[in-house]
Structure 1
Amino acid sequence: MKIYTRSGDEGQTSLIYGRRVGKDSLRVTAYGTVDEANSTIGVAVAHISSDPQFADVVRFSERVQRDLFDVGRDLATPEDKRDGFYINQADVDLLERMIDTLDAETPPLKQFVLPGGHPAAAAFHLARTVVRRAERCIVALEKQDTVQPMIRKYLNRLSDLLFIMARVVNTRTAVAEPGVDFHAAKPNPFTE
């Protein structure tokens, strides 16, 4: 099987079952953004995959990455070709259990968290923002087309999980979690 097909050279791509749409369609933008989020989670995992203290985070991340393929399949399957959905309430419930499990070990929030700290934490924060963008794409798509109703809920919960994963990485590695106190004076980078 060849990697290149040349079928997209004119700015169109195929949904599952072969229906051609523009690469700039909201549906393609939505599942492309989900794919971007999936790749960004992969970057985060690459930073911690060999560290045994993160075996649970890696395992949770790998499940999420498989789920994101299902989100993409739900988005890329034309409505008249669907015989069911791949993402369901049980997947959302599982995300909530992951959040609760990991959040139990993070210190209480006392300020707004700035993305950063350990490289994996920064990558999980980046993945979180890409998931939020995917969620906005889904909301826009819903205004013109039918979207699997559980996807928006799943992505909303996933962004929460990625936030907690970033915090857990910083906590377990004892890397200071960057934060901002809106009541404190802004630091001067030339004097501090």
Structure 2
Amino acid sequence: MGHRLSKIYTRTGDDGTTGLGDGSRVPKDSARVAAYGTVDEANSAIGLVLACPLPDDVRALLTTVQHQLFDLGGELCIPGHAAIEDADVERLEQQLDHHNEALPALKDFILPGGGEAGARCHLARTVVRRAEREAVTLSRHDAVRPQAIRYLNRLSDLLFVLARVLARADGHGEVLWVRERR
């Protein structure tokens, strides 16, 4: 496993650059750093979901997702590195289908809410969606494997479905958008 951090601060980033996994240095506001930084933020948001009481299957799924997001962050941090595969995207799709089949069809837009776990899941969904946008931005001038972008796209969809599942499991129900409020 490479180097272990024995000292947290190095002062090497004081000049506004940061080191990538391949040893090269880039500006801290580069598209690559934005992409893997937002994946890290998404992982933290999922950690907030995991801090809530959850059904065991959802907890296991989100724990696996956290590991995969860490891998994906590594893929984005090391140019040319591959970590997320087609099979990872397919497993997300299988989980999407599994969790969505018991839900009623959507007739209205849903607002973020529905209890603490559901609301946190909605927050994680929006951060994952931003990570996807950042990865697409990066892909416009650097190589990004399509599996990475597809993974983030499916994950945001899965988190939407899980937010619906969790809102119902909490007993709060989904918060529907009411078009005519006046």
> TM-score, normalised to structure 1's length?
0.88
Please state how far the C-alpha of 1:70 moved relative to its aligned partner. 1.1
Structure 2, unmatched stretches of 5+, are: 1-5
Instruction: Please give the alpha-carbon distance, in whole angstroms, between the structure 1 residues aligned to 2:9 and 2:27.
Output: 18
Please state how far the C-alpha of 1:88 moved relative to its aligned partner. 0.6
Please state how far the C-alpha of 1:115 moved relative to its aligned partner. 0.3
Q: What is the one-letter code of the residue matched to 2:95? A: M
Match in the other structure for 2:3: none
Match in the other structure for 1:174: 171
Instruction: Please give the alpha-carbon distance, in whole angstroms, between the structure 2 residues aligned to 1:165 and 1:78.
Output: 32
Q: What is the one-letter code of the residue matched to 2:141? A: Q
Instruction: Please give the alpha-carbon distance, in whole angstroms, between the structure 2 residues aligned to 1:105 and 1:44.
Output: 21
Map Cα deviations across residues 116-161 of structure 1 (whole Å, 9 max, x no partner): 1111111110111111111111111111111122111010000000
Q: Percent identity?
A: 50
Match in the other structure for 1:77: 78
Match in the other structure for 2:24: 19
Cα pair 2:114 2:168 within 8 Å, conserved: no
Match in the other structure for 1:61: 62
Cα pair 1:75 1:148 within 8 Å, conserved: no
Match in the other structure for 2:51: 46
Please state how far the C-alpha of 1:14 moved relative to its aligned partner. 0.6
Instruction: Please give the alpha-carbon distance, in whole angstroms, between the structure 2 residues aligned to 1:134 and 1:77.
Output: 16
Q: What is the one-letter code of the residue matched to 2:171? A: A
2:23 aligned counterpart, secondary structure: coil
> TM-score, normalised to structure 2's length?
0.93
**Does structure 1 residue 186 correspond to structure 2 residue 178?**
no
More displaced 10-residue stretch of structure 1: 144-153 or 23-32:
144-153
Which one of the candidate residues 113, 116, 120 is aligned to 1:123?
Answer: 120
**Does structure 1 residue 98 correspond to structure 2 residue 98?**
no
Instruction: Please give the alpha-carbon distance, in whole angstroms, between the structure 2 residues aligned to 1:167 and 1:149.
Output: 28
- Runs of 4+, deviation exceeding 4 Å: none
Instruction: Please give the alpha-carbon distance, in whole angstroms, between the structure 1 residues aligned to 2:152 and 2:11.
Output: 32
Give the structure with higher Rg (CA): 1
Cα pair 2:42 2:128 within 8 Å, conserved: yes
Instruction: Please give the alpha-carbon distance, in whole angstroms, between the structure 1 residues aligned to 2:58 and 2:28.
Output: 34
Cα pair 1:121 1:167 within 8 Å, conserved: yes
Cα pair 1:106 1:171 within 8 Å, conserved: no
1:124 aligned counterpart, secondary structure: helix
1:186 aligned counterpart, secondary structure: coil
Structure 1, unmatched stretches of 5+, are: 188-192
